Amino acid sequence: MYRSLPKATSTTTFIAGGAGKNCMLSRKGTKLDWVSKNMKLKPIRAVISGGDDKKLVEKAKENKGSLSSLSNGGSIDVKAVITIRKKLKEKINEKFDDQWESLMNGIGRGIMVQLRSEDTDSATGSEKIAESYVRGWLQRLEEHPNIVEYSANLTVPHDFGRPGAILLTNFLDKEFYLVQIVVHGFRDGVMVFPANSWIHSRKDNPESRIIFRNQVYLPSQTPAGIKDLRREDLLSIRGNGKGERKLHERIYDYDVYNDLGNPNKSDEFTRETLGGKKRPYPRRCRTGRAHTKKDPFCERRIEKPHPVYVPRDEAFEEIKQNTFATGRLKALLHNLIPLIAATLSSTDIPFTCFSDIDKLYNVGVLLKDGKNDGKRNQWLASLMNRLLSVGDSLLKYDIPAVIKRDRFAWLRDNEFARQTLAGVNPVNIELLKEFPIVSKLDPAEYGPPESAITKELIELELNGMKFEQALEEKRLFLLDFHDLLLPFVDKINSLPGRKSYASRTILYYSPSGILKPVVIELSLPPTLSCPRNKRVFTYGHDATTHWIWKLAKAHVSSNDAGIHQLVNHWLRTHACMEPYIIATHRQLSSMHPIYKLLHPHMRYTMEINALARQSLINGGGVIEFCFSPERYAGEISSAAYETMWRFDLEALPADLIRRGMAVEDASRPGGVRLVIEDYPYASDGLLIWTTIEELVKSYTNHYYSEPNSITADLELQAWWHEIINKGHHDKRNEPWWPKLSTKEDLSGILTTMIWIASGQHAAINFGQYPFGGYVPNRPTLMRKLIPEEGTPEYDRFLHHPEGTFLSSLPSQLQATKVMAVQDTLSTHSPDEEYLHQLRELQRFSSNDHEVHGFFEKFHAKLEDIEATINKRNKDVRLKHRSGAGVPPYELFLPSSGPGVTGRGIPNSISI
């Protein structure tokens, strides 16, 4: 990607289109306007100048004509137009820097451009080169005041051929954001070199940046004139694996998760490394920071507000940074208030009645006046009230969707069950295939393997149906967290304010189309006095058993919330996607068709993962503070990776078949038929999966039409080899990894990756606040075990069951903190890029019109899917997504506006 340059000559512009990271697309009359009159921004990463497409074409023709006329004799005069994006809001010193940069470029001392031909000299075999400095004063676009353009004039011989690459050297004192370079004057027309990348200063790195034209080449098809540049580009991105990475660098490499703990701070914050034989895990991006003094295997942490290294182009752009900062501020206000309240009262306050929870939405959180806590606390409380209060109240939470239509829905069993199919974690329910249920854990350590759930207990809840009939008709389902959690239960229960069970839940799907829980088993590790430490609960028809049943469901929900966050959300999407991104940059040239296909699905993921390591999944972070496993969260996530994760089963149809929720049927979407047709996550998800799969098959067939073209693609083979052997090093010897020999193999691999980054992540992320924002519906931890008869706790429960239930839930501080985080994680940024916008992004990535047609077809199918989902949500026969007070299932609606919308499928894992 870098190369030293000799010298150069001068540029200005027509913004023809770019693709990649955060340029802007302004298309009048569509939803993609970059700048409206009131300056509300909706950025897209491709750039087109103001005006409609017709005007752009006319301007291109004008430029082509005027420049062609400059040709003389044996040479051609061409012009390279460099488009640079400035910050939307600049500080005074930044404006001064801009003036200085403008002066340097004006006098030809700022940026050097070197044009490389795709051809080599026929006589000598050497590269064909033309170079020049940018010279002249910048031009600003009226409609885009933060977009500026410079030009460089170059003279090339008449037999120069088509330009294939541009080498850029930045002699300025700081980096700049290059949107694209457009070259005018060649007989073949306008040549576009999309960049959407930060160009480092020569003082930071003397090597030049390589920018390729928007032409797709397989490695074997690379023209001779740019073949070496392709190799150099990849070598520069890989780095040498040594030293600490600098923020301006674009080096992609692997490391283990050894930066979650902070032993220098305290032994309390020591955490095991995730990655390796003991704790297998996917790899993260290497930062190269020094290790701590107290633990030579633990990397020194970088705490907020200092940034963690990610390759420069992976960092949030300005709008995303501002949105995220606003979200963090909102979280700070929500977190600070209960924190101070807890400090003033010297205790962690539980909810004492349901109205305490309701006040979070209709009143807001109030600070205590601290009258009994001394003058200092009185002053602090008074100050906070003056600073943060609006009248007598503080900021309020939005009402979550789960209680917006029916505030008592969470109490009902059918709503508890409905959320296993249409909630934020609809990926753990499985068909009950065999009975009795038997654990795979070592009985010598964990007691008898058989579950305490009997068919007689189940049959009592089947409304007259025999157990064998229900099993045969596939009406019994299981939510099983037993084997994953039981090895950690004693550890969790030794923590202050944490009490947990390993749970199993049996659900029954009635002939009337309603799913409901019928039996819950809660287990503790065996003891000498109780080798079979299991309790079984069924729905209560009297007051006591009814409240006990509520507590049992709350414990199941808490387990579900933890598995959702640590396994299905963080591990299976965020953490497992990062190695694919690293390998794609390291092994696939930006000219490679698979790089271009995957690029929109990698945006922001490494940055959000780095921020998660900094404040969410780290020792003492939000996830530990707010979820049951606390300091053992990483260990549980690692255990799930070791025993459950398989790449070949991350495909939606394969996952549904594995869980028994579908059977093979080639006539249905995704090639499967659902066991429960009214399974919103699966039925809508299969529409998205199938549409992605069709796009990927068309795309791969287009570029790999020749026999053996897959095995002959050395970059592609190196990419897949590295994903397996480096990115998922601890799983490298598993026999289930797909081969990469045919187009079908490649299509399956790519469809799975794109599905994980887009549809799968959207389905399990953007419903977090709509479902988890009401604590009783989805507590993230429990603080008490269920009281047993004959104990003082049981007597207190009989006298005040509501108090026992609420005091078992997260405290006010824990609840409000996790609500703030879930609100932030459920929020779409204003610069979000969605699946239905791929046609615009890909339009400027390559100049292949047949490929553009694939994305047009994809766009049309997504519009049809949106209409289908809206229709399903109004179908009264589908009881898991419609009915009185039932929120519609919209997580797979492709489009969304900014904010907490409970819908929309971004291209990438960006939050």
Q: Which residues are catalytic?
A: 569, 574, 761, 765, 911
Residue 137: count of CB within 10 angstroms of its CB: 12
Q: Which string of DSSP letters, residue by residue, matches 468-532?
A: HHHHHTT-EEEEE-HHHHHHHHHHHHTSTT----EEEEEEEE-TTS-EEEEEEEEE----SS-SS
Q: In what order do the strands lie in the sheet with 75-85?
A: 139-141, 144-157, 75-85, 176-184, 191-199
Q: How far is CA 865 from CA 502, 627, 697, 854, 904, in A?
A: 39, 36, 19, 17, 12
Q: How far is CA 255 from CA 287, 575, 726, in A?
A: 8, 12, 9
Q: Please provide the size of the chain in residues.
A: 911
How many CA atoms are closer than 13 Å to the CA of 515, on its beta-carbon side?
30
Q: Are strands 191-199 and 176-184 parallel, antiparallel or unpaired?
A: antiparallel
**Amino acid identity of 483?**
D
Find where tokens 């819950």 sit.
520
Residue 768: count of CB within 10 angstroms of its CB: 28
Can you give the three-state secondary structure of 59-109, one letter per residue? HHHHHHHHHHCCCECCEEEEEEEEEEECCCCCCHHHHHHHHHHHHHHHCCC
Between CA 122 and CA 130 the distance in angstroms is: 17
Name the CA radius of gyration of the chain, rounded. 30
The answer to whether 892 and 881 have CB atoms below 8 angstroms apart is: no
Helix residue spans in 705-848 (DSSP H): 709-712, 714-722, 743-755, 761-765, 768-772, 792-799, 801-808, 812-825, 838-843
Helix residue spans in 136-187 (DSSP H): none
Q: Give the distance, in angstroms, between the CA of residue 713 and the centroid of all CA atoms in the same chain.
A: 29
Eight-class DSSP state of 765: H
- The pairs formed by 718-722 with CB atoms below 8 angstroms and a separation of 24 or more are 718/587, 719/583, 719/584, 719/586, 719/587, 719/588, 719/594, 720/749, 722/583, 722/586, 722/587
Between CA 244 and CA 614 the distance in angstroms is: 17
Can you give the three-state secondary structure of 357-415, one letter per residue? HHHHHHCCCCCCCCCCCHHHHHHHHHHHHHHHCECCECCCCCCCHHHHCCCCHHHCHHH
**Amino acid identity of 100?**
W
Between CA 720 and CA 728 the distance in angstroms is: 11
Torsion of CA 250, 253, 258, 260, to 10 degrees: 40
Can you give the three-state secondary structure of 657-693, one letter per residue? HHCCCEEECCCCHHHEEECCCCCHHHHHHHHHHHHHH
Between CA 903 and CA 911 the distance in angstroms is: 14
Closest CA to 629 of 549, 565, 550, 576: 565
Helix (H, G, I), strand (E, B) or coil at 891: coil
Find where tokens 């489009």 sit.
895
Helix (H, G, I), strand (E, B) or coil at 233: helix
Find where tokens 């239930």 sit.
805
**Amino acid identity of 124?**
T
Look at the alpha carbons of 304, 310, 314, 318 in this order and tell me if their dihedral is positive or negative: positive
Between CA 843 and CA 850 the distance in angstroms is: 11
Q: How far is CA 316 from CA 17, 250, 606, in A?
A: 21, 14, 10
